[in-house]
Amino acid sequence: MKGNSALTYRTYKWNEQVYRNRTYTYPETKKLFNLSHMAPKTIKVRYEYSDTFKNKIKGELYVRVIFSHHCYTKTMQNTDEKTVLVTEYENGVIKEQRIFDETRYKYTFMLLDVITNISYKICRESRLKGKVIRLEEKDRSNPQKGIYIIMKLKAKDESLFLYVETAHYRNN
């Protein structure tokens, strides 16, 4: 560890009254939202690049994709009167409470296709260490508007993991 920094221990707790078996139940209407498509998946990613001798290198990798609940939830604001879906903790202290976001949920079905075809997409490096950003559904009048997908790639024991941390619309 560097300096006096301590490890941050993050956990979360699901509200079992509204979430069970990868299904969210909207409390007021009892409408069900199936989240099974957000279960971890393994995808094949193709790559191609030129080495220092201008030789084209091509190949395929298998990547385990893990979707965060941030893909279909948003931070609960003081004015929200919705039921908490998941509570996030840092070192045992509540960091934030998140509520179901139907707009983000609807996008998760397209998100799966974007991630599956990520080999053919251009991603940008984030200012946040080790993260990449993919901008989808750009607005022609303002190219910074669109769906921002924030991901992090990690290698562990010769396996690759792609963490899809969030996907949401931004208009900045």
Q: Which amino acid is at 135?
A: L
Per-residue model confidence as pLDDT tens digits over 36-69: 999 999 998 888 888 899 999 999 889 999 999 9
Segment 10-26 shows an average pLDDT of 95
> The pTM is what?
0.80
Strands 159-170 and 56-67: parallel
Task: Give, in order, the Cα–Cα distances in Å from 139 to each of 31, 102, 115, 123, 171.
Answer: 32, 21, 20, 17, 9
- CA–CA dist 171, 44 (Å, integer): 32
Task: Give, in order, the Cα–Cα distances in Å from 74 to each of 3, 6, 92, 108, 146.
Answer: 34, 27, 21, 13, 17
Question: Quick one: tokens of 2?
Answer: 């560097």
Locate the domains of the chain by residue range. 10-170
- Give residue 167's pLDDT band: very low, low, confident or very high (50, 70, 90): confident
Per-residue model confidence as pLDDT tens digits over 62-114: 999 999 999 999 999 988 888 999 999 999 999 999 999 999 999 999 888 88
Cβ atoms within 10 Å of 166's Cβ, excluding its own: 17
What does the chain come to in residues? 172
Per-residue model confidence as pLDDT tens digits over 113-131: 888 777 666 677 777 677 8
Residue with tokens 């956990």: 11
- CA–CA dist 88, 10 (Å, integer): 7
